[in-house]
Chain A
Amino acid sequence: EADIYQTPRYLVIGTGKKITLECSQTMGHDKMYWYQQDPGMELHLIHYSYGVNSTEKGDLSSESTVSRIRTEHFPLTLESARPSHTSQYLCASSVLTGSTEAFFGQGTRLTVV
Chain B
Amino acid sequence: AQSVTQLDSQVPVFEEAPVELRCNYSSSVSVYLFWYVQYPNQGLQLLLKYLSGSTLVKGINGFEAEFNKSQTSFHLRKPSVHISDTAEYFCAVSDRGSARQLTFGSGTQLTVLP
Contact = CB atoms under 8 A, between A and B. Distances in A.
B103 to A, nearest CB: 8
Interface stretch (B18-26, B38-46, B54-62, B76-84): B38-46
Interface string B32-72: 10101000011111100101000000000000000000000
A29 to B, nearest CB: 12
Contact of A42 (B43, B45, B51, B90): B90
B43 A106 contact: yes
A31 B106 contact: no
Sorting the interface of chain A by its residue count into under 10, 10 to 19, 20 to 34 or 35 or more gives: 20 to 34
A50 B109 CA distance: 32
A92 B99 CA distance: 14
Interface of B: 32, 34, 36, 41-46, 49, 51, 88, 90, 94, 97-102, 104-107, 109
Interface of A: 6, 31, 33, 35, 40-43, 45, 48, 50, 58, 90, 92, 96-97, 99-107, 109
B105 A100 contact: no
B31 to A, nearest CB: 10
A90 B43 contact: yes
22 contacts: A31-B101, A40-B109, A42-B90, A42-B104, A45-B101, A48-B101, A96-B99, A97-B97, A97-B98, A97-B99, A99-B49, A99-B51, A99-B94, A100-B100, A100-B101, A101-B34, A102-B101, A103-B46, A104-B36, A104-B43, A105-B43, A107-B42
Contacts, number: 61
Nearest to B107: A42
Nearest to A31: B99
B113 to A, nearest CB: 19
By Cβ-Cβ distance, the 8 closest A-B pairs, closest first, are A104-B43, A42-B106, A104-B44, A100-B94, A106-B43, A43-B104, A107-B43, A105-B43
